[in-house]
Amino acid sequence: MRLHDTSVRGFASDNYAGVHPEVLAALADANGGHQISYGEDAYTARLTEVMAGHFGRPVDVYPVLNGTGANVLALQSMLPRWGAAVCAATAHVNCDEGGAPEKVGGVKLLPVPTPDGRLTPALLDSEAWGWGDEHRAQPLVVTITQTTELGTCYTPEQIAALTEHAHSLGMRVHLDGARLANAAAHLGLPVRAFTSDVGVDVVSFGGTKNGALAAEAVVVLDPGAAEGLTFLRKTDMQLASKMRFVSAQLLALLEGDLWLRSAGHANAMARRLRDAVVDLPGVRVVRPVESNAVFAVLPEGVADRLRESFRFYDWDQATREVRWMCAFDTSPEDVDAFVSTLAGLLAGETVTA
C-alpha cells in the first residue's frame, strides 16, 4: 500500500530520495535461500574484493546501517579513551549526529572554525597541541568530510598536505565519505586518488545518500590505524544480522558505475539549479557548487513562501542563507519547476539585496 504521492519532489536532502531501482533489484536478487548471518555471506566477501579494487589495496570492510554509526565506529576504533578528534566546526560529526561520537563513542571532538568547511595544516595546528598534558584530551585523529557540509570538495593535493602534516604529528586521518561519490564525480578521479593514495587511514563510505537503503561501511585502509572494529560494531548496535542485504546494495553501486552515474547526475542537477538562479533578482549563490548542494541567500520572506511548494532547509536564518540539495532522481524538470516558482515569487517582491 503506497501512502505518498511519488510525483512530489523537494530540495531539502538527498536522504529524501528513495532507493535506486537498480539497488532494489539487487536486494531482490540477494533474497531467497539461506546465507550465513552477521557477515559470513557471499555478498559481504565480494564487497571486500570490490572495495579493494576501488582503493587500490587490500582493505578491511565493515558494513553498517547508517552514517552516524560508521563515523562513531571509525573514530572509536582509532582512538584510546583519552583521545580526541579534530574536525571542522561545521562537520557532520560535530553538528548533526546528536552528540553520538561523544555520548556513544566516548570521543572528544575538537572543532575548528573554517571558512569553507575544509581543514588545512594551519587550521589543524589550532587544536593539535598539548600532547602529554594530562589535563587535555589528546588530539590523535583528524577527521575530514568529503564533500564537506558546505558543499565544497577537497582536492587530492589538499588532503595529501593535511595527512602528511597529521602523520608528522603522530595523528591518524579519518575521512567521512557520506558523499564520497559526489566528490569523485566532481573531481573526475577514482576514490583512491583522494583517499588511499594520499594517506587517509580509515574511511566512512556512504551509500544511503547515493541511492541505497541503510547501507554504509567503515573501510580500513591502514590496518594499524584501527582496532576492535569486530567487537565495537556489535557493541554499538551496527552489526546487521542479515548483512547480505547491506552488502548487496553497496555491490549494486560499486561493481559497475551506478555509484558514479548517480552522483554525477545529482551534481549536474545542482549546477543546473545554480546556473538558473544566479541571475535572479535578489538571489545570491554564496558558496562554490562542487557537489550536489547549492547555498543561496534569498530576500526576506521568500524562503517561507517557496517552501509552500518545495521543501528545503534554512542553513543560517540570521543571514537568510538556505541550502538546496539534489539527488540521484532529481530531474531537469524538477529543477526547472523549482526555479520557475522562485522566479514567480521574486517577480512579486520588492527585492532588497
- Model pLDDT, residue 238: 98
pLDDT at residue number 351: 42
pLDDT of residue 164: 98
Q: What is the mean pLDDT of residues 87-113?
A: 96
Measure the CA–CA gap between 243 and 265, rounded to whole angstroms: 28
Mean pLDDT of 66-74: 98
Under 8 Å between Cβ of 146 and 177: yes
Q: How far apart are CA 325 and CA 313, in angstroms?
A: 9
- Concatenate the DSSP letters of all residues of 257-313 into one string: SHHHHHHHHHHHHHHHHHHHHTTSTT-EE-S---SSEEEEE--TTHHHHHTTTS--E
pLDDT at 106 over 60: yes
Q: pLDDT tens digits, residue range 273-295?
A: 999 999 999 999 999 999 999 99
CA distance 171 to 125: 12
Report whether the peptide linkage leading into residue 48 is cis, meaning its omega lies within 30 degrees of zero: no
Q: Work out the average pLDDT over 136-142.
A: 98
- Taking only the tens place, the pLDDT of each residue in 155-200 is 999 999 999 999 999 999 999 999 999 999 999 999 999 999 999 9
Name all domains of the chain by residue range, CATH numbers in brackets: 19-254 (3.40.640.10), 258-347 (3.90.1150.10)
* Mean of pLDDT over the chain: 96
Strands 313-316 and 284-285: unpaired
pLDDT at position 94 is 96
* Maximum pairwise Cα distance, the chain: 65
SS3 29: helix
What would the mean pLDDT of 297-304 be, rounded to a whole number? Answer: 96
pLDDT given at position 159: 98
pLDDT tens track for 204-250? 999 999 999 999 999 999 999 999 999 999 999 999 999 999 999 99
* Coil/strand/helix, residue 85: strand
Q: From the CA atom positions of the chain, what is the Rg in Å?
A: 21
DSSP H or E segment with residue 322: strand 321-325
Q: Sorting pLDDT into bands at 50, 70 and 90, what band is 353?
A: very low
Percent of the chain scoring above 90 in pLDDT: 97
pLDDT of residue 150: 97
Q: Is the distance from CB of 77 to CB of 60 less than 8 angstroms? A: no
User: How many other C-beta atoms lie within 10 A of the C-beta of residue 310?
Assistant: 17
Query: What is the predicted pLDDT for the residue at 352?
Result: 43
What percent of the chain lies above the pLDDT cut of 70? 99
Residue 349's pLDDT is 53
Which of 36-50, 167-181, 336-350 shows the lowest mean pLDDT across its residues?
336-350
What value does the mean pLDDT take over residues 263-268?
98
